[in-house]
Structure 1
Amino acid sequence: MLRLGAASVLLAGLAAGQSCGTLPVTTSFSGNAIKLPDPFTFLNGSKRYELGPMPAAPEVQASLSGTRLTITVKANGKTLTMTPTIRMPSSGQGPFPALIALGGVSIPVPANVALITYNNEEITATNPRGKGKFFDFRIMDTLEQLGPAITKIDPKRIAITGCLRNGKGAIFATEFSKYINALDKLPHNHHILATIIAPRPFLVIKNSGIDYLSPISSYGYTSAARMVYEALSATDAIGFSQVAYGSSHYQLPSSQNADVAAFFNRFLLGQDSVSTKTWKPDAKLNLDLKRYVDWTAPKLG
């Protein structure tokens, strides 16, 4: 997943939201306010069956005309239509890997990767709040339904990206992916969003020069998430690159281009020899992770 002030992730297939589990009748909060909750233990003390089974996808009808996908979703007697656009590589026969960009793209995209631009404001408007088609997001269903013979896109090699609030959207879109076997048995909770993505690729790109982008917080939660990747023997799949630059959170400095390219090359373009050991926090930021984490990660993979 590539994240610019927010995020992008490898996924294949999306499904509707999960219902919440049953909480204990009485809950005692023991004053652990400054600690990051243990993602391997749930509120009731259990370590399994937190998410439950994945519900079936709604009815999805799809078509492709030129560069425009038309997606019609029907569920519970309601219908909505979305029309993301596709920019194909200028050469090659495909099927190509693809990047889904929420609201637009702020990172360099390799020439041999297709770009699908999705107007998420159509689904949930920023202003006014409460307007839009809400969280229905069926692009993956469409790519799988039409197939690479029509779309020229490989649905098994998809990334998602977004900047600022759309980065959070990229994380949520990945969490609702069905690209994990035995989802109900994963020992992950929702406290640290990035842990739900593990062991899929997740790259966080941050501008540490803007306070309201929470550089220390981003460094802290990604470091905690990395412990989960370590538990799954997948540290090469999580990256963090933090540089102080300018006053715009929608810009990517050239010094971070190589970090983005490495994740594209290895996880979308199949170049397994490319190193993705990217862990570059701002040297000026001091983080004592032990101050916030009092749990240890088990060995899962």
Structure 2
Amino acid sequence: MKFFITALGLVSLATAQEYSPTPTTCVVNNATYPKSAKLPDPFLLADGKRLGTKDEWACKRAEIRDQIQRFELGPKPPKPTVSATASSGKINIVSSEGGKSASFSVSLKLPSGTGPFPAVIAFESSSIPVPAGVATITFPNHDVAADDPHGKGKFFDLYGSSHTAGSLIAWAWGVSRVIDALEQLGPDTTKIDTKRLAVTGCSRNGKGALIAGAFDDRIALTIPQEGGSGGPGCWRIVADFKKNGTRTEDATQIITGDSWFSTAFAEYAPDTTVLPYDHHMLMALVAPRALLVIENSGIDYLGPISTYGCSIAARMVYTSLGAEDAIGLSQAAHGTSHCSMPSSQNPEVAAFYNKYLLGQTDVETDVVKTDGKFTWYAPQWIDWTTATLA
């Protein structure tokens, strides 16, 4: 895959697509890797070849997408037939497949001016500040797929209640349908510039926002807030964190509650060292597009050392693609006030919006900061090096 520089930063030539198709030279198979307590090498293909070029990274992305859907999230269906109408600050989206239809609506709040405007797609609502000049699209993700029980919501009305997808990938499917609708209606109707879209959400919605950004290349900026485990946290690291007696959310706990993950994930959750990936590779699916991870280091349940270490590992992929300044991590403790971002994190949020949605190219976004009271020892988790991709 080739890349080019625009006023909005480093972006893929495939941004007009939901995600870039698997190159014909790739072989994406169901091979698995040896069980590993360390984070799997994101530069190693299933056939044992280590990546040497950016074109080969396109093959690895396809492999990661396949693995995460197969083991954890469930399949994201391809684009159905989509139709959309807009009126009075609402966009109604109808998806049709196999003789069935399902619809949901999003609300649209525009800034003053003529547009077209960049926009953030916010899961339910945005709990981070949205700057002036950016529109807000409120996405009702729980209408698309319910937390519990499995099989409820508009996604399952269309694909059947027995579909194995968890609600997280169903939400990502819904975000893609929102973008389809925006493209179909066009900027004359919506006043939205679909080349400048962000997605955000907090807690479970932060997990959903990350997965939406990972599975749709049309999203320029992804900001998961306090997503913790199942989002920007690595399963292996949080399991070790819990083993030491800390009350935190790990895979074994997460599958007993809401239906966020595929029904298949229950088989792998008790021992995530068997997975051929971890969530540093989920975050790497966003690369080289912009990703800002906002976390609360003061809540053990969110696994702050896991989200920190996982982000550091993902950053190594961004570095290999020449996009290190397109990934940021900000952890700040604010007690038990979950999804209430402190003002100390405003500068990095503003910087990412300014650079990747508002086109301010001179903004500094190369940020990694934490006030977490933990020790991160990279060799415990990473026994591979950053590849130099030609």
Instruction: Tell me if TM exceeds 0.5.
Output: yes
State the distance in 2 between where 1:15 and 1:232 align: 17
- Residues 21 and 93 from structure 1, CA distance in 2 versus in 1: closer, same or farther, beyond 3 angstroms? same
- 1:165 corresponds in structure 2 to 204
CA contact (8 A) 1:16 1:55 kept: no
- 2:361 corresponds in structure 1 to 272
- 2:182 corresponds in structure 1 to 143
CA contact (8 A) 1:95 1:148 kept: yes
| 1:249 paired residue among 338, 345, 362 | 338
CA contact (8 A) 1:12 1:155 kept: no
CA contact (8 A) 1:16 1:56 kept: no
**TM-score with structure 1 setting the length:** 0.85
CA contact (8 A) 1:106 1:251 kept: yes
Greater mean deviation of Cα atoms: 199-208 or 133-142: 133-142
| 1:80 paired residue among 94, 99, 102 | 102
Asked if 1:45 corresponds to 2:48, the answer is yes
User: What stretches of structure 2 of length at least 5 have no aligned partner?
Assistant: 1-11, 67-75, 156-169, 220-275
SS of the aligned residue for 1:203 comes to: strand
Question: Which residue identity does 2:208 align to in structure 1?
Answer: G
CA contact (8 A) 1:203 1:239 kept: yes
- 1:260 corresponds in structure 2 to 349
- 1:120-159 alignment to 2 at 5 Å? 120-134=141-155, 135=170, 136-137=173-174, 138-159=177-198
- Cα drift, residue 273 of structure 1: 0.7
- Cα drift, residue 250 of structure 1: 1.1
- Cα drift, residue 16 of structure 1: 12
- Cα drift, residue 17 of structure 1: 11
- Cα drift, residue 212 of structure 1: 0.4
- 2:307 corresponds in structure 1 to 218
- Residues 58 and 291 from structure 1, CA distance in 2 versus in 1: closer, same or farther, beyond 3 angstroms? same
Could you say which structure has the higher helix fraction?
2
State the distance in 1 between where 2:277 and 2:86 align: 36
The total of aligned residue pairs comes to: 278
State the distance in 1 between where 2:99 and 2:48 align: 39
CA contact (8 A) 1:12 1:178 kept: yes
CA contact (8 A) 1:14 1:174 kept: no
| 2:126 paired residue among 74, 81, 105 | 105
Q: Which structure is richer in relative contact order (CA contacts within 8 A, separation 6 or more)?
A: 1
CA contact (8 A) 1:209 1:246 kept: yes
Q: After superposition, what is the alpha-carbon deviation per residue over 1:173-213, rounded to whole angstroms, capped at 9, x for unaligned? A: 12221449xxxxxxxx8532101101110001111000001
Asked if 1:14 corresponds to 2:18, the answer is yes
- Cα drift, residue 239 of structure 1: 0.4
Asked if 1:29 corresponds to 2:68, the answer is no
State the distance in 2 between where 1:204 and 1:96 align: 24
CA contact (8 A) 1:266 1:273 kept: yes
User: What stretches of structure 1 of length at least 5 have no aligned partner?
Assistant: 1-9, 181-188
- Cα drift, residue 129 of structure 1: 3.4
Q: After superposition, what is the alpha-carbon deviation per residue over 1:266-297, rounded to whole angstroms, capped at 9, x for unaligned? A: 11000111111211122532101121111112
- 2:385 corresponds in structure 1 to 296
Q: After superposition, what is the alpha-carbon deviation per residue over 1:154-178, rounded to whole angstroms, capped at 9, x for unaligned? A: 0000000011111111122122214
State the distance in 2 between where 1:238 and 1:158 align: 16
CA contact (8 A) 2:117 2:134 kept: yes
State the distance in 1 between where 2:154 and 2:104 align: 9
Q: After superposition, what is the alpha-carbon deviation per residue over 1:102-149, rounded to whole angstroms, capped at 9, x for unaligned? A: 121110001210000011001111133331123231000011111111
CA contact (8 A) 1:147 1:153 kept: yes
- Cα drift, residue 233 of structure 1: 1.1
Q: What's the % identity of the aligned pairs?
A: 48
CA contact (8 A) 1:97 1:155 kept: yes
Greater mean deviation of Cα atoms: 238-247 or 35-44: 35-44
Moved over 3 A (4+): 10-18, 46-50, 52-56
- Cα drift, residue 29 of structure 1: 2.6
CA contact (8 A) 1:23 1:44 kept: no
State the distance in 2 between where 1:121 and 1:45 align: 40
Asked if 1:174 corresponds to 2:213, the answer is yes
State the distance in 1 between where 2:21 and 2:387 align: 28
- Residues 95 and 57 from structure 1, CA distance in 2 versus in 1: closer, same or farther, beyond 3 angstroms? same
- Residues 282 and 213 from structure 1, CA distance in 2 versus in 1: closer, same or farther, beyond 3 angstroms? same
CA contact (8 A) 1:12 1:158 kept: no
Greater mean deviation of Cα atoms: 248-257 or 36-45: 36-45
CA contact (8 A) 2:304 2:372 kept: no
Question: Which residue identity does 2:109 align to in structure 1?
Answer: R
RMSD over aligned CA atoms reads: 2.7
- Cα drift, residue 246 of structure 1: 2.3
